[in-house]
Structure 1
């Protein structure tokens, strides 16, 4: 195989696709190379939840806002359904209300509402009886990631002329040569988006960041009676995990309470996200366990912690678990993402916080602007 392009992108997950879009919008000829036949990693093993509210203040929050805007713009063009919009952070503890009140006073909370339990149930009747307050955010949107990511790739190919080379491993990059298992591609520049493959291309560069991998549990639930949730739902546990809340001084008291009352959940990195699909099923998670090579097993006890938290927040009757899966992503203790420059015209881009769907479009626009001015 021989081909020539302005930019070769290694990796067709959401981070790679975001860079392909940003480059194509600048009129660049783009080739995307991926080792799999279709999206199979973290980009489809998630909620499809584009989260703005709760992202760390500053660059991450601004990238999430921009990424949400890009999703909203391209989804109808690419035939991607937006399943629902908005976020309800439903809380049970007075310490959580203090965190939400403080968040409302920040720039990030300016468009959000702090609702009483009664006001919240009028919008979302499935909320449980113990809810004390709800932060309502208008910013979020949700897509079905296992469908949206393939549709996005197909639209990029059909509407922007981006060439996809699948089932192909990249063995080395010495610009202008990209050596692959299917032959050589000529490229003037390259962006490597390896996801959680930390020992492939530029392994020495990646090792310097001290990354590990995070494993998470997720489930799909089939409720026994139909109902509409109408927005994504989170709980008190999210306020000590999402940095937009957790870095507020008021979060310290909440953490102390949760360490006493929800120690098992914190130890397993459990916080609650619930989103709904068009068929009425719910995607529920998640947990966080860290290792260089996470084991492939999903203990029922961890799933039970997630479901117990959901049943404290939502009351919609009985359900069955129709699917279970695990996901893995690259993780760092000191950064949410990284952009490394091994050569003048090569970038390594890794989201290290599980926020690819929420921030990748914003990151990609910055990287492509830096590379191509």
Structure 2
């Protein structure tokens, strides 16, 4: 009988890697995680930390986000995360955006039980002492949560190591995986099952099967800023621009008018894939983005014009002047055959990839379902409705 170093070896300590490690360790499996950097530095710490249910397309993504919502509550309590649970506010800035939100609330939200409310008039004006009364309406997504990823991920790692005995190997590159074995810069580990959650690195491991998916990388320009007139923001913020971007809204007939308006009035927003997201940090600052630029590799060059557009949008939405503290580039895997892929590569080797920037929103549920399927305890997750 072969003695394995662990039951499950996870490659990558980003959101998906940690989700799978947690799901397995909770079930009593011996888990090792290898991460090539000294701490997670990829998509999962460069993001807004928004775990959104409201924006998810009906079908598998909405189901996963709803399951992940409860799992965030569980993990947040266990690991001591500063999880904001006030929900999100999506502001309608124009008649077209307001009409879409009305249609969503009257139709899809009712049919599929999205937990939302439309705030107008006095209820809109009461938000944050009238700071947002220059908008026409706000969709309050009650199930949306938000955390500060760059602190939350290390906290999750500390919790998994301390309480659940997960064995982390940082600054350890996994060079190759095969049935039963992972070959790393820290030696060779034997594992009953190997899960590759290596983000948008499509070349180090499993290059051939990943190439078949034709995945791309999306890069986005991000900022951390402080309002000159402070605002103790407790919600994730979006605007009607997100209505043409998120699956819950983008296919509704009312989105055509918003697209037409953007093309007519601010074509640069469409050209750069800009829709405004704002997340509070625990320190009273705001994370602001984002733009979308797709390709086989992420260009290292940021365009100042894009940052300027983002800041103008943010200042208009927040009704105040911003001071920029930090700029960086977000990056995530994009444009594969579906929102995510679960690839059974060979006996005991599975790859899990996101092809969209929704890993925070669905990752914990994906981890639960993939680990359950590995143990013969459930269906394999599918990204497309059967």
The alignment's TM-score, normalised by the length of structure 1, stands at: 0.95
User: Structure 1 residues 290, 110: CA separation in 2 closer, same or farther (over 3 Å shift)?
Assistant: closer
Using the alignment, how far apart are the partners of 2:140 and 2:148 within structure 1? 22
Q: Is the 8 A contact 1:9 1:30 kept in 2?
A: yes
How big is each residue's C-alpha offset from its partner over 1:46-86, in whole Å with a ceiling of 9 and x where there is no partner? 11111111111111011111112111111122121124521
Q: Is 1:135 aligned to 2:139, yes or no? A: yes
Alignment-derived partner of residue 379 in structure 2: none
The answer as to whether partners of 1:216 and 1:289 remain within 8 angstroms in 2 is: yes
CA contact (8 A) 2:219 2:293 kept: yes
Cα distance between partner residues in 2 of 1:321 and 1:126: 24
Q: Which moved more, 1:2-11 or 1:138-147?
A: 2-11
Q: Which residue in the other structure is 2:380 paired with?
A: none
Instruction: Answer yes or no: is 1:213 the counterpart of 2:180.
Output: no
Pairing 1:311-326 to 2, within 5 Å after superposition: 311-315=315-319, 317-326=320-329
Residues 56-67 of structure 1 mapped to structure 2, 5 A cutoff: 56-67=57-68
Partner residue of 1:307? 311
1:296 Cα deviation (Å)?
Answer: 1.2
Deviates more, 1:14-23 or 1:304-313: 304-313
In the TM superposition, residue 354 of structure 1 has moved relative to its aligned partner by 0.8
Distance 2:160 2:63 in 1: 24
Partner of 2:381: none
Structure 2 runs not aligned, ≥5 long: 377-386
- CA distance in 2 between partners of 1:297 and 1:90 (Å): 31
Q: Which residue of 1 aligns with 2:69?
A: 68
Out of 347, 356, 369, the position equivalent to 2:372 is 369
Distance 1:220 1:142 in 2: 15
Distance apart, 1:127 and its partner CA: 4.0
Q: Which residue pairs with 2:79 in the alignment?
A: 78
The runs of 5 or more residues in structure 1 that have no matched partner are none
Q: Is the 8 A contact 1:83 1:278 kept in 2?
A: no
Does the 8 A contact of 1:50 with 1:140 survive in 2? Answer: yes
Question: Aligned equivalents of 2:334 and 2:96: distance in 1?
Answer: 29
> Partners in 2 of 1:110 and 1:368 — Cα distance?
27
Instruction: Go from structure 1 to structure 2 and tell me whether the alpha carbon gap of 1:110 and 1:50 turns closer, same or farther (over 3 Å shift).
Output: closer
Q: How far apart are residue 262 of structure 1 and its match? A: 2.1
Distance 1:242 1:135 in 2: 14
Q: CA RMSD in A?
A: 1.6
Given the alignment, which residue of 360, 368, 371 partners 1:357? 360
- Residue 258 of structure 1 deviates from its aligned partner by 1.5
CA distance in 2, matches of 1:121, 1:185: 59
Q: Give the length in aligned residue pairs.
A: 371
What SS class does the counterpart of residue 124 from structure 1 fall into? helix
Return the alpha-carbon distance in structure 1 between the equivalents of residues 335 and 309 of structure 2. Answer: 24
Residue 239 of structure 2 aligns with which residue?
235
User: What is the Cα deviation at residue 323 of structure 1?
Assistant: 0.7
* Cα distance in structure 1, aligned partners of 2:21 and 2:30: 9
Deviates more, 1:154-163 or 1:110-119: 110-119
